[in-house]
Structure 1
Amino acid sequence: MNVTPLHIALVSETFAPEINGVANTLERLCSGLRARGHRLQLVRPRQAGETHGGDENLLLTRGWPLPGYAGLQWGQSALHKLLRRWQRNRPDVLYIATEGPLGLSALRAARRLGIPVVSGFHTNFQQYSEHYGLSLLSRLLTGYLRWFHNRTRLTLVPSASQRVELQRRGFERLELLARGVDGQLFHPTRRSAELRAAWGLEEDEIAVLHVGRLAAEKNLQLLSRAFRELQRALPQRRLRLVLVGDGPQRAQLQAEHPHALFCGVQRGEALAAHYASGDLFLFPSLSETFGNVVLEALASGLAVVAFDQAAAAQHIRHGHNGGLASPGDEQAFIEAARWLLEDEESLRRVRLNARQHAGRLGWAAIVEQFEAHLLQVLP
């Protein structure tokens, strides 16, 4: 179907090359929409080394550090700047990906100018607050997020479980927009004997991998417990814990696991090689709206163990292409990992099925769905 090209303004307080699921998703959506002939104007905080936007399709604002998240920012309110820009060059539709001061000012400007707005619920900030000693603010934050999203024409959520949870909390006009994965970048052929040798692994050793921010909201105490219990339960299997990423809990984890490998932040082909060079992927987080790393691990041919929610609920069949546990059932999570490691043939079969499933989850269909949602709100 031929679609008249749109002028789309996308507002976000995070964007590539920052490393997080929101930035990765938005980069994919933007490149996909441009490839389909749409004009994209990006509004975001200025990143290190940037001085100005340079053209009409990039508007940079001042940013402020996000407490507890080194390298990420809140965008400063830019109401008058946005009003001037959009009065002169009006977008057809606005997509707001984050609900901070910049996102709020964009919502206010769009409502004043009558520009239709679609919002995205990308991050469970109300849940994160509880992990940083701000539990008293969680209810207030939920109320603000509900108020914010209910003032847009449509809110896109990445998983069915997230939609149910938000509906229960009074969020309206919710539609599903899942995530894709680059199945050429994340692929089992990226497995590297050289990298495994650099990790100090023998051929028969099992690399138990985790990729993500090393922070409180990722439930990493379960990662530690699970790995220790697997070592005790399966002394015949030689296991090595490999963590890719960085964050405030790194020092604590290094003290708890002196023999683990901490690889730091990886990008692009190096990240893909780290995935494919692992064997089992443990993802204990309970705070994800989706969890892009689950798809990246599946596409890389890893057996994934996760809780039955968000991306894992949509894409893992327990015992077929991974292992699932009921949310919060830590013992079931550990038992799922143990089952995968007890039998080499089961592990091999699950890994093959994981890749086969993820190989069908490209970004092209997701971009088309996103385009359809934007068209849906036009007058």
Structure 2
Amino acid sequence: MRYAIVTETYPPEVNGVALTVQGLEQGLRSRGHAVSLVRPRQDSDVADLPDTMLVRGAALPRYPGLKFGLPATRRLTRLWTNTPPDAIYVATEGPLGWSAVRAAKRLGIPVATGFHTRFDEYMRDYGAAFLQQTAMRWMRRFHNRADATLVPTRELQDFLASQGFERVVRLARAVDSTQFSPALRDSALRSLWGARTDTPVAIYVGRIAAEKNLGLAVRAFRELQGKRPDARFVWVGDGPAREKLAQDNPDFVFCGIQRGEALARHFASGDLFLFPSHSETFGNVTLEAMASGVPTVAFDYGAAREHLRSGVHGVAVQDDEAFVAATVQLGDNATLRGLMGGNAAEAVRALRPDQVAADFDVLLADLAATRRSYANPATA
């Protein structure tokens, strides 16, 4: 089969959407399919890449280092007229994503979209709550033009259906337990953080930005520190809020963006993963923390609701006060953390990326077969 993937973010950019899209692309390739990629040109691109169409992009406001793709309907129509894919996956709702859906519909190629980002919640987090319903209408209009909209959880599938989204299909997420593992815990790395063997280390991994509700993580850690003055808070990632956060909290340890084995070592060397975000569609980092044997405190939605059993793998909470209380309880109880961390690592071991790739392949192939049966009813 020949598939095309369209995305406005892609590694080396570091965010959940970019890494998820790359995983899906690699999964399809590993299954023997031809995959072409369409994305904005990045500053690091010095030459054309095989099986990749690079389009012009523009800086994304408030997201330094990220771009959105400019409209490219005509280019995509020409490309897919000459070499039509059997099915197309559009991962993002920006101008490039809209262009891809238009071109696919014009050419009669089946197209699936991915719902990766709660832009309606972002409106609230950036002080524009009055635009939440507008954002929801915009997303609904975009996704309802597709033959299927892929979501990672049953919870999100039900929510979007209640908001008038059509043809919403769950595609589960996975985590590579050969990469993220408790075995990568690194005492030398912990020493760099100023942590001894018995020092409780809270860790946050992700974008350091307003939409992540980081003030709550800070408050919860300060409460923990009241009981355990030796506790440390380690931050992995970058974003527009990092400078102010570091300025206000000089005792915090900032490690910047980490990738590959270095990221896995940072995860495994923490003792408690704090994930205070209200606006994720999933939260891949929750699975990565669990696979690393690190109990998680998170709100009861997304990956936490789908995979984290509260009280067994960490704590899934309903409100801010419960988040703070769980942080203090786990941060001050090494025995409980160890038990939950072991349970968490075991619980996600069966979530294999190759199974997600197989499910994605079947979904796209079914869309292609359905479209062919409509085009050739005599052979159906």
Coarse TM-score class (shorter-chain normalised): over 0.9
Letter in 1 for 2:252: A
Instruction: Calculate percent identity across the aligned residue pairs.
Output: 47
**What secondary structure does 1:377 align onto?**
helix
- In 1: Cα distance, 2:324 partner to 2:273 partner: 12
Instruction: Compute the displacement of 1:250 (Å).
Output: 1.1
Residue 250 to residue 114, structure 1, CA distance change in 2 (3 Å): same
Letter in 2 for 1:144: W
2:176 to 173, 182, 189: 182
Aligned to 1:347: 337
Letter in 1 for 2:286: V
**What secondary structure does 1:241 align onto?**
strand
**What secondary structure does 1:94 align onto?**
strand
Structure 1 position 248 matched with structure 2 position 240:
yes
- In 2: Cα distance, 1:32 partner to 1:75 partner: 24
- In 2: Cα distance, 1:101 partner to 1:31 partner: 25
89-98 or 159-168, larger mean C-alpha shift: 159-168
Structure 1: gaps (5+ residues): 1-5
**Equivalent pair of 1:213/1:245 in contact (CA under 8 Å):** yes
Structure 2: gaps (5+ residues): 372-380
Aligned to 1:3: none
Structure 1 position 67 matched with structure 2 position 61:
yes
Aligned to 1:202: 196
Extract structure 1 runs of 4+ deviating beyond 6 A.
none
Aligned to 1:38: 33
Aligned to 1:15: 10
Letter in 1 for 2:298: A
- In 2: Cα distance, 1:43 partner to 1:196 partner: 40
1:279 to 271, 274, 278: 271
116-125 or 163-172, larger mean C-alpha shift: 163-172
193-202 or 270-279, larger mean C-alpha shift: 193-202
Letter in 1 for 2:253: L
Please report the TM-score for the alignment, with normalisation by the length of structure 2.
0.94
Residue 209 to residue 84, structure 1, CA distance change in 2 (3 Å): same
- Give runs of aligned pairs for residues 98-137 of structure 1, distance below 5 A: 98-137=92-131
- In 2: Cα distance, 1:177 partner to 1:374 partner: 11
- In 2: Cα distance, 1:198 partner to 1:338 partner: 24
Instruction: Compute the displacement of 1:51 (Å).
Output: 5.0
Instruction: Compute the displacement of 1:96 (Å).
Output: 0.4
- Give runs of aligned pairs for residues 211-360 of structure 1, distance below 5 A: 211-232=205-226, 234-235=227-228, 238-326=230-318, 329-360=319-350
- In 2: Cα distance, 1:305 partner to 1:98 partner: 28
**Equivalent pair of 1:204/1:238 in contact (CA under 8 Å):** no
Aligned to 1:157: 151
List per-residue Cα deviations over 1:80-111 (Å, max 9, x = no partner). Answer: 11111111111110100001110111111111
Aligned to 1:93: 87
- In 2: Cα distance, 1:7 partner to 1:213 partner: 34
Instruction: Compute the displacement of 1:198 (Å).
Output: 1.2
- In 2: Cα distance, 1:227 partner to 1:78 partner: 46
**Equivalent pair of 2:224/2:332 in contact (CA under 8 Å):** no
- In 1: Cα distance, 2:237 partner to 2:331 partner: 24
- In 1: Cα distance, 2:154 partner to 2:49 partner: 39
List per-residue Cα deviations over 1:36-57 (Å, max 9, x = no partner). Answer: 01110100000113255344x2
Report the aligned-residue RMSD. Answer: 1.3
**What secondary structure does 2:141 align onto?**
helix
**Equivalent pair of 2:91/2:113 in contact (CA under 8 Å):** yes
Letter in 1 for 2:360: F
- In 1: Cα distance, 2:144 partner to 2:48 partner: 31
- In 2: Cα distance, 1:49 partner to 1:192 partner: 31
